[in-house]
Amino acid sequence: MACDDPVELVPGVWQIRQELSEEVPLYLHLVVDPEGSALVDGGLPSSLGWIERLMAAAGVRDRDLRFLLNTHGHHDHIGAFAELRSRTSAVVVADPAAVRWIEDLEVNLREFALHRPDIIADSPELRAELAPTFGRPCPVDVTITDGGTVRLGGPVVLEALRLPGHVEGELGWLERSSRTLLLGDIVTGTSWSFFHGHLLPTQLRGSLHRLRALTLNEDVRLVCLAHYASRTAAEFLELLTEVERYLDQVTDTVEGALDATPRSLAEVWRHTCAQLGRVEEFRGLAMVQAHLREAVAAGRARCVGPDLYVALRSDGQVRLQR
Ligand SMILES: [Zn+2]
């Protein structure tokens, strides 16, 4: 069996893998109920063929597809939504904070990749690189918040979990009948050549903590993730520990760049990329900015000018040496 063939992980939960690059896989998931089915995330525009194969393998016809459940508004999670929504009667369900990015792709591109044009230029080259990964905008039909449920008509009920951290508006989905957890990018990639990125470090820690508790308390049997192979609860708990360690490493590296001499955001970003061996890229820039904001909020750093930061000692004084 080729690695990108559709597979039924547990009865009713189907998966297909698409390679986004040599180092980044994308897993797409279809939850099947006798009365209707739900696709979790819409991949990239190029994912449509994979989704069609997934539906065919699971015996899901266009008219059986009832929901397009989004985890978050990044381009690799929404790309085929517009096409699928127009050819089926499926309803697009998303977190309220994801709606702008799904419905307005220029806003999405600007806030995702072009957020600091003074540091990473809004160049024709960058736009040309990203353009094929952005599909058509898609209306969101229903927004859902933490604890909301989506019923497929039979035994399958998907419960929404609000999991901020990677972005503000991210949902996970807990399918209770098979005790399966379906996640987007809240468990971020830790070993790619670029930073996968996260915009809310404190909330990311909280969401990882919540996922650990939920896995144990709800007797989760299977965890499906967008950029990692699916795994058992025990394997998932190990992965959570790995991501928490990575988060500590990023925090230490960003804050380790600071002392009494004001350092600019760009300097700290370049230092962090060099220290941790990552390509300088827009996702990492947003992540470093978020960590600096967190350090200021926690009293470990002070902003002393536009984009200029110094370290603070625990007594609030500027740290003179490390
Ligand atoms: Zn992703």
Does the CA dihedral 99-104-110-113 come out positive or negative?
positive
Span from the CA of 280 to the centroid of ligand 1 (angstroms): 18
The rounded distance, in Å, linking the Cα atoms of 2 and 26 is: 15
Calculate how far, in angstroms, residue 62's C-alpha sits from the geometric centre of ligand 1.
25
Domain ranges of the chain: 7-247, 258-311
Residues 182-237: tens digit of each pLDDT:
999 999 999 999 999 999 999 999 999 999 999 999 999 999 999 999 999 999 99
pLDDT of 14 higher than 90: yes
**Residue 289 main-chain phi, psi, to 5 deg:** -60, -40
Rg (CA), the chain: 20
Task: Using the mean position of ligand 1's atoms as its centre, give its distance from the Cα of residue 304 in Å.
Answer: 34
Q: For residue 322, what pLDDT is reported?
A: 47
The β-bridge partners of 310 are 302
Ligand 1 ion: residues within 5 Å (CB): 76, 185
Domain 7-247: which topology? Answer: Metallo-beta-lactamase; Chain A (3.60.15)
pLDDT digits (tens, 9 = 90+) for 147-184: 999 999 999 999 999 999 999 999 999 999 999 999 99
Tell me the CA–centroid distance for residue 301 and ligand 1, in Å.
Answer: 31
- Taking CA atoms, 143 is separated from 163, 166, 219, in Å, by 15, 19, 27
Average pLDDT over residues 302-321: 84
Long-range CB pairs of 159-165 (<8 Å, 24+ gap) are: 160/95, 161/210, 161/214, 162/95, 163/207, 163/210, 163/211, 164/200, 164/203, 164/204, 164/206, 164/207, 165/198, 165/199, 165/200, 165/201, 165/203, 165/204, 165/205, 165/206, 165/207, 165/208
Centroid of ligand 1 to alpha carbon of 213 (angstroms): 23
- The pLDDT score that the predictor gives to residue 320 is 63
Query: Do the beta carbons of residue 98 and residue 209 sit within 8 Å?
Result: no
* pLDDT value for 107: 95
Say how many Å lie between the CA of residue 263 and the centre of ligand 1: 31
DSSP at 138: -
Which amino acid is present at 26? L
Neighbour-count burial of 46, counting CB atoms closer than 10 A to its CB (0-12 exposed, 13-18 middle, 19+ buried): middle
Q: How far is the CA of 92 from the centre of ligand 1 (A)?
A: 18
Q: Report the C-alpha gap between 282 and 120 in whole angstroms.
A: 7
- pLDDT at residue 273 in the model: 98
Task: Inform me whether the pLDDT recorded for 1 exceeds 80.
Answer: no
Output the pLDDT for position 317: 76
pLDDT digits (tens, 9 = 90+) for 235-283: 999 999 999 999 999 999 999 999 999 999 999 999 999 999 999 999 9
Q: How many CA atoms lie within 13 A of 139 on its CB side?
A: 7
Q: For the residues of 171-227, what is the DSSP string, one character each?
A: EEEEETTTTEEE-SSSS--SSSSS----S-HHHHHHHHHHHHHHHHHTT--EEE-SS
Which residue type sits at 55?
Answer: M
H helices of the chain, where? 48-58, 81-87, 99-103, 105-112, 124-130, 201-217, 233-256, 265-276, 282-297
37-53 pLDDT, tens digit per residue, is 999 999 999 999 999 99
Distance between first and last Cα of the chain: 55
Cα distance between residue 12 and residue 300, in whole Å? 48
